[in-house]
Structure 1
């Protein structure tokens, strides 16, 4: 529910009040003495879904944007006519639950801080995320998402597109580009300082840190996270629901991958940064694409009907452009996913081959204790480099040709030759 405070220009009082009467809207009018341009102020409650059509109708009656129109939340309205008005405009679907176009624009503006604050908070969140990744601490990484100011620019570009506010669109796009660059640069600089000052153990292998490695070789599921964040963010802002938690989700799609890219650069592994950088870009574009489609679907349009065709054409071009780029990145992520799937299959096949080998009568005194597939460092398309097989057997047992047999059978399932190390451990059963 909303309470609208509307200043009525001189000569428009009767027209405005007749419009409110025709719509069955309760109102209170007070005389206005602060300016000769306005004669009165009207106060009237509206269901959220009615704000946009009523304000548009009043605008057509002669209220221009220079007049003061204030829309605030109303907790409770006790009125039979209001209940009838609510039943008329609200039918339970998303479109009827959404806030007005005017409120949406104001909300998008309010979610985007000044550039100085945006840059500062982005740098801080990237530094915190980098520390969390190096500590392998999910809790710290989540904390970096909470303080990231990314939801405003991420949603502002979509809002600006559908309501024909090109200034908001270009400002939001600029913020997003600068935000991505700042996040990766801040993470790289901080990680380099941490490395050179030996704050972390010398020789730290970043690929062995789970929080980092999983973002250096992202898979196709990452795309679903970004698309979900974009849809959820737009639905939350369009229906007036708190966007705080959704902002964390959008930051989850952007800040940790950017920090992982910065860490890889600081460690002198630019190829390892490719996957996480692509993940950042595809997430940014996916959030924008999902937001744009969702806003258009729920019915947001520019206030100027003469600009509708031009806006629709512009939105269509942007949707197609974003979809094509996201599809290209999706193919890249799909290739990474396929490579990971092949590596998983190879490990399973290698294990089965070792187990089948040990089932032979000449090796029945041995048992498989462990099998580890060591991946190479060719990020983001990692493949098996070495297989380490740990075999247990009784003291004094030997099988000189076992290692060669395992090597041969394991490499049947490898596209490229893979080293196989066989370790023997004495097993004493009592």
Structure 2
């Protein structure tokens, strides 16, 4: 279930209340006239089944609440209510399959912003991975994968394509390109520094490195894993199962590939640098392709599910 907290201009309260009451899957409606102060208006509270949430939010936006009032949405972890159970049963489809497009767009917009924090995490992850590839340490590689924030702009670009949001697509591309460029440049400098104090050596990079040499040797499996991780990551975002993102993060070698390319370039190992760059591009392409197709399929399946449910209701 979702909890909606609405600030409504007084002249639209009746229309908002009717909209909530007409929504199959909405319940626990409460109206507090004049309770809101900034912006001023009436406070309207309600709960709605997740599978009906996107439709209701869309109707509320059509009434201009996002412009003249406020729409706040929270996930309800526990609701002990017979009415809530009935609302979920009445709502079309399954809550686990529902996609809150407004929430997804807002979340990916925030995560795909080129910020100092984003650059810091990506740069730190790349430097950790640099230590991992030089030492041939798989634990450091996994740690770097988990720290890297690059899935945010990847998901943002896929969402932008499906939702036809060119600004979000551009923002996501800028975050990806500029983020990896800055992280790799800093990692080159970090590699020179570590070499200067004797912690990195060219012989360490040129060694066989059985635990990490896959990073600069892309093959068909690289693309397959990237596609599977892209699907899993997109499903974890749309179903609010964010814990799965950790598994996605350690499944794809984007950050380690960028790190290996930077370190290899600093030592003049251009063949390794090129192989790592291929690995990086292959993984980015696989994730974006899989994420976009997954969202398209989810949208199509959900629309079909809602149409069938509406047809059943009209038949009764």
Q: CA deviation at 1:287?
A: 1.0
| 1:336-383 deviations in Å (ceiling 9; x for gaps) | xxxxxxxxxxxxxxxxxxxxxxxxxxxxxxxxxxxxxxxxxxxxxxxx
Higher relative contact order (CA 8 A, sep 6+): 2
| 1:252-293 deviations in Å (ceiling 9; x for gaps) | 320111111122212212122211101101111211111111
Deviates more, 1:137-146 or 1:18-27: 18-27
Residues 212-361 of structure 1: pairs in structure 2 closer than 5 A? 212-243=212-243, 244-246=245-247, 248-249=249-250, 252-299=252-299
Q: Which residue of 2 aligns with 1:199?
A: 199
Report the aligned-residue RMSD.
2.6
Distance 1:32 1:138 in 2: 59
> Residue 6 of structure 1 contacts residue 42 of structure 1 at CA under 8 Å; is this kept in 2?
yes
Classify the secondary structure of the residue corresponding to 2:235: helix
Residues 68-147 of structure 1: pairs in structure 2 closer than 5 A? 68-89=70-91, 91-92=93-94, 97-112=97-112, 115-147=115-147
Deviates more, 1:184-193 or 1:30-39: 30-39
Q: Which residue of 2 aligns with 1:65?
A: 67
TM-score w.r.t. length of structure 2: 0.85
Q: Which residue of 2 aligns with 1:159?
A: 159
Aligned residues: 298
Q: Which residue of 2 aligns with 1:54?
A: 56
Distance 2:22 2:259 in 1: 57
Which structure 1 residue ranges, 5 or more long, are not aligned? 301-430
Q: Which residue of 2 aligns with 1:303?
A: none
Distance 2:202 2:149 in 1: 33
Do the aligned partners of residues 23 and 117 (structure 1) sit closer, same or farther apart at CA in structure 2, a change above 3 Å counting?
closer
Could you say which structure has the higher helix fraction?
2
Do the aligned partners of residues 286 and 10 (structure 1) sit closer, same or farther apart at CA in structure 2, a change above 3 Å counting?
same
> Residue 114 of structure 2 contacts residue 175 of structure 2 at CA under 8 Å; is this kept in 1?
no
Q: Which residue of 1 aligns with 2:6?
A: 6
Q: CA deviation at 1:194?
A: 2.8
2:46 equivalent among 41, 44, 47: 44
Q: CA deviation at 1:189?
A: 2.6
Distance 2:134 2:45 in 1: 56
Distance 1:202 1:106 in 2: 45
Do the aligned partners of residues 154 and 138 (structure 1) sit closer, same or farther apart at CA in structure 2, a change above 3 Å counting?
same
Classify the secondary structure of the residue corresponding to 1:42: strand
Classify the secondary structure of the residue corresponding to 1:132: helix
> Residue 161 of structure 2 contacts residue 292 of structure 2 at CA under 8 Å; is this kept in 1?
yes
Q: Which residue of 1 aligns with 2:32?
A: 30
> Residue 48 of structure 1 contacts residue 97 of structure 1 at CA under 8 Å; is this kept in 2?
no
Q: CA deviation at 1:182?
A: 2.6
> Residue 112 of structure 2 contacts residue 171 of structure 2 at CA under 8 Å; is this kept in 1?
no
> Residue 105 of structure 2 contacts residue 159 of structure 2 at CA under 8 Å; is this kept in 1?
yes
Distance 2:66 2:117 in 1: 33
| 1:314-333 deviations in Å (ceiling 9; x for gaps) | xxxxxxxxxxxxxxxxxxxx
| 1:65-114 deviations in Å (ceiling 9; x for gaps) | 33200001112223333323212335348xx6234111112221343465
Deviates more, 1:139-148 or 1:13-22: 13-22
Distance 1:172 1:205 in 2: 32
Q: Which residue of 2 aligns with 1:310?
A: none
Distance 2:4 2:163 in 1: 21
> Residue 184 of structure 1 contacts residue 258 of structure 1 at CA under 8 Å; is this kept in 2?
yes
Do the aligned partners of residues 34 and 49 (structure 1) sit closer, same or farther apart at CA in structure 2, a change above 3 Å counting?
closer
The structure number with the bigger radius of gyration is 1
Do the aligned partners of residues 169 and 66 (structure 1) sit closer, same or farther apart at CA in structure 2, a change above 3 Å counting?
farther
